[in-house]
Amino acid sequence: MHLFSAMFLLVMLAGMPGEVQNISQSMEVLDLRTFRDLQYVKNTEGLMKVVDGKLKVASENPRSLNPKGFQEVKDKVNQLLPLLPVLEQYKADAKMILRLREEVRNLSLVLMAIQEEMGAYDYEELRQRVLLLETRLHSCMQKLGCGKLTGVSNPITVRASGSRFGSWMTDTMIPSSDNRVWSMDGYFKGRRVLEYRTMSDFMKGQNFVQHLLPHPWAGTGHVVYNGSLYYNKYQSNIIIKYHFRSRSVLVQRSLSGAGYNNTFPYSWGGSSDIDLMADENGLWAVYTTINNAGNIVISRLEPQSLEILQTWDTGFPKRSAGESFMICGTLYVTNSHLAGAKIYFAYYTNTSSYEYTDIPFHNQYSHISMMDYNPRERVLYTWNNGHQVLYNVTLFQVIKTSGD
Ligand SMILES: *[C@@H]1O[C@H](CO)[C@@H](O)[C@H](O)[C@H]1NC(C)=O
Ligand SMILES: *[C@@H]1O[C@H](CO)[C@@H](O)[C@H](O)[C@H]1NC(C)=O
Ligand SMILES: *[C@@H]1O[C@H](CO)[C@@H](O)[C@H](O)[C@H]1NC(C)=O
Ligand SMILES: *[C@@H]1O[C@H](CO)[C@@H](O)[C@H](O)[C@H]1NC(C)=O
Ligand SMILES: *[C@@H]1O[C@H](CO)[C@@H](O)[C@H](O)[C@H]1NC(C)=O
């Protein structure tokens, strides 16, 4: 605990409550998560020992195991095999956590020294160290928290604003301390982006500035990543990267072969041909082409140049999809934009494989025209019939992160 008091000392000295408080909170969360991980690894190890023991007995006395028993053991081992990379990853993560711990401890020693000898330290340097530490902590936690979507919470309506169709978001880059909220009403030829200072300003509809985009947008598949808006230019398959701070277009590039102009939209139409999104692994475009016969294609994009790094064909017809969003490199697709929709299909880019899923969620206002995951906040942002709605997600792999 004295570590945390030392942290709060820095708050007083350097006047940057945000960052430092976050670190102590992050450490607590990390503790909890690693504790759960450890339990999981221990349980798995137990199971492996049992199987191993049985195999040993069998190899020493082959007659003790009949063919059926042997098959059972073999099946158990096969079940366990996919866990090996997870365990390996866990070990690597555990090492990283140990190093981070040591860094935090070091930093706290410096802080205590400050208490005794005020003025002898370079606060700017300290601040940089705190920021660096925070960055590393966040990416570590993000990696630890990745997994498969198993549930979506009840919706929380943040606000009712705008028309039936639209898009709203916060920055998806990790880490980012940028709390601004952007809102883009409509899907057709829009150019006006409203930028709110904070979520609470967005809720009250106050403290906003306006960006007038140099080119109009199509659809609702926009995303903000690292301080820039990525969007589909009206009546084209061009993706534009608009930088908010300089209010300028940094790059634009055609997404080769991608359908546009309401040729291959989601089930609700609205020129939703090209859906841009970001997750723990970076920036993605979801669309389709004539060559892919209208089936959803996923491309990972280079955020600076918008070049395609890799492409996957999911085989799922885009017009039968209500919406889609990416979590931890997996694309989740809903089967409708209307009431009764569920998350119906998942495509894993890590293994280039898919499965059908049955994850329900509550579509409260019965028309969803945008649904995107924010990896920084681990929530789903949706635009539901003129309402701006959030859902928590439950991810499961080695650990479970809450939403319930
Ligand atoms: C912590 O401080 C010790 C002693 O100054 C140093 O040897 C070590 O490398 C530091 N560890 C980290 C992770 O910075
Ligand atoms: C692929 O990603 C999913 C989560 O998106 C994860 O559950 C699964 O274990 C990963 N598979 C491999 C082989 O890494
Ligand atoms: C984020 O943007 C800054 C410039 O605004 C750039 O230096 C940095 O490399 C970008 N990071 C990523 C991951 O794109
Ligand atoms: C887009 O679609 C509209 C309506 O179908 C049509 O009038 C227009 O010519 C199309 N534009 C392009 C560039 O394909
Ligand atoms: C998500 O979970 C957090 C922590 O339990 C809670 O504070 C927040 O209100 C939840 N948000 C939604 C949209 O359910």
Structure tokens at 143: 């990696």
According to the model, what pLDDT value does residue 122 have? 62
Q: Partners of 185 in the beta sheet?
A: 166
Q: How far is CA 8 from CA 98, 126, 219, 313, 348, in A?
A: 22, 14, 46, 50, 42
pLDDT > 90 fraction of the chain, expressed in percent and rounded: 56
What per-residue string of b and e applies to 297-324 under the rule 16 or more CB within 10 Å gives b?
A: bbbbbebeebeeeeebbbebbbebbbbb
Q: Which atom belonging to ligand 5 lies closest to the Cα atom of 153?
A: 14
3-state secondary structure of 293: coil
Q: Which atom belonging to ligand 3 lies closest to the Cα atom of 304?
A: 14
| Closest ligand to Cα 390 | 5
Express each pLDDT in 213-243 by its tens digit. Answer: 999 999 999 999 999 999 999 999 999 999 9
Assess contact for 303 and 278: CB atoms under 8 A.
no
According to the model, what pLDDT value does residue 52 have? 63
Pocket of ligand 1 contains residue 99 by CB under 6 Å: yes
Q: Is the pLDDT of residue 303 over 80?
A: yes
Express each pLDDT in 82-129 by its tens digit. Answer: 555 556 666 666 676 677 667 666 766 766 665 565 555 566 666 666
Q: How confident is the model at residue 253 (pLDDT cuts 50, 70, 90)?
A: very high
Across 366-387, average pLDDT = 95
Mean pLDDT, the chain, as a whole number?
Answer: 81
3-state secondary structure of 121: coil
Q: Which atom belonging to ligand 5 lies closest to the Cα atom of 155?
A: 13
Pocket of ligand 1 contains residue 106 by CB under 6 Å: yes
Q: How confident is the model at residue 157 (pLDDT cuts 50, 70, 90)?
A: very high
Q: Is the pLDDT of residue 399 over 70?
A: no
Report the alpha-carbon distance of residue 142 to residue 146 in Å, rounded: 6
Q: How far is CA 29 from CA 81, 137, 144, in A?
A: 29, 11, 11
According to the model, what pLDDT value does residue 6 have? 30
- Cβ atoms within 10 Å of 165's Cβ, excluding its own: 24
Q: Is the pLDDT of residue 19 over 50?
A: no
Assess contact for 163 and 218: CB atoms under 8 A.
no
pLDDT > 70 fraction of the chain, expressed in percent and rounded: 62
Across 285-305, average pLDDT = 97
- Cβ atoms within 10 Å of 33's Cβ, excluding its own: 20
- Cis amide prior to 175 (ω within 30 degrees): yes
Query: Which of 100, 106, 132 to mutate for ligand 1's pocket (most ligand atoms within 8 Å of CB)?
Result: 106
According to the model, what pLDDT value does residue 177 have? 73
235 Cα: distance to centroid of ligand 4 (angstroms)? 7
- Please state the φ and ψ torsions of residue 378, each to the nearest 5 degrees: 55, 45
367 Cα: distance to centroid of ligand 5 (angstroms)? 22
| Closest ligand to Cα 374 | 5
Structure tokens at 201: 């300003």
Q: Is the pLDDT of residue 401 over 70?
A: no
393 Cα: distance to centroid of ligand 5 (angstroms)? 9
Which residue's C-alpha comes closest to atom 1 of ligand 2? 350
Assess contact for 153 and 393: CB atoms under 8 A.
yes
Q: Which atom belonging to ligand 1 lies closest to the Cα atom of 99?
A: 13
Report the alpha-carbon distance of residue 333 to residue 238 in Å, rounded: 23
Residue type at 370 in one-letter notation:
M
Residue whose token pair is 């504790």: 35
| Closest ligand to Cα 234 | 4
- pTM for the whole thing? 0.72
Residue whose token pair is 């365990």: 87
Nearest to 190 by CA among 211, 159, 169: 211
Pocket of ligand 4 contains residue 261 by CB under 6 Å: yes
Assess contact for 385 and 366: CB atoms under 8 A.
yes
| Closest ligand to Cα 95 | 1
Across 3-25, average pLDDT = 39
Pocket of ligand 5 contains residue 392 by CB under 6 Å: yes
Q: Given its phi and psi angles, is residue 13 left (phi above 0), alpha (psi -120 to 50 degrees) or beta? A: alpha
Q: How far is CA 234 from CA 17, 217, 218, 252, 307, in A?
A: 43, 5, 4, 13, 20
Ligand 3 first shell, C-beta below 6 A:
226-227, 303
Pocket of ligand 1 contains residue 110 by CB under 6 Å: no
Report the alpha-carbon distance of residue 167 to residue 371 in Å, rounded: 8
Residue 10 or 76, more confident: 76
According to the model, what pLDDT value does residue 12 have? 30
Show contacts of 113-117: CB within 8 Å, 24+ apart.
114/9, 114/10, 114/13, 115/6, 115/9
According to the model, what pLDDT value does residue 2 have? 29
According to the model, what pLDDT value does residue 18 have? 42
Which residue's C-alpha comes closest to atom 8 of ligand 5? 392
Q: How confident is the model at residue 363 (pLDDT cuts 50, 70, 90)?
A: very high
- How far does the chain reach from its first CA to its final CA, in angstroms? 28
Pocket of ligand 2 contains residue 148 by CB under 6 Å: yes
* Structure-derived torsion over alpha carbons of residues 293, 299, 304, 305, reported in degrees to the nearest 10: -40
Pocket of ligand 2 contains residue 276 by CB under 6 Å: no
Domains, the chain: 2-144 (no CATH), 149-401 (2.40.128.630)
Residue type at 386 in one-letter notation:
G
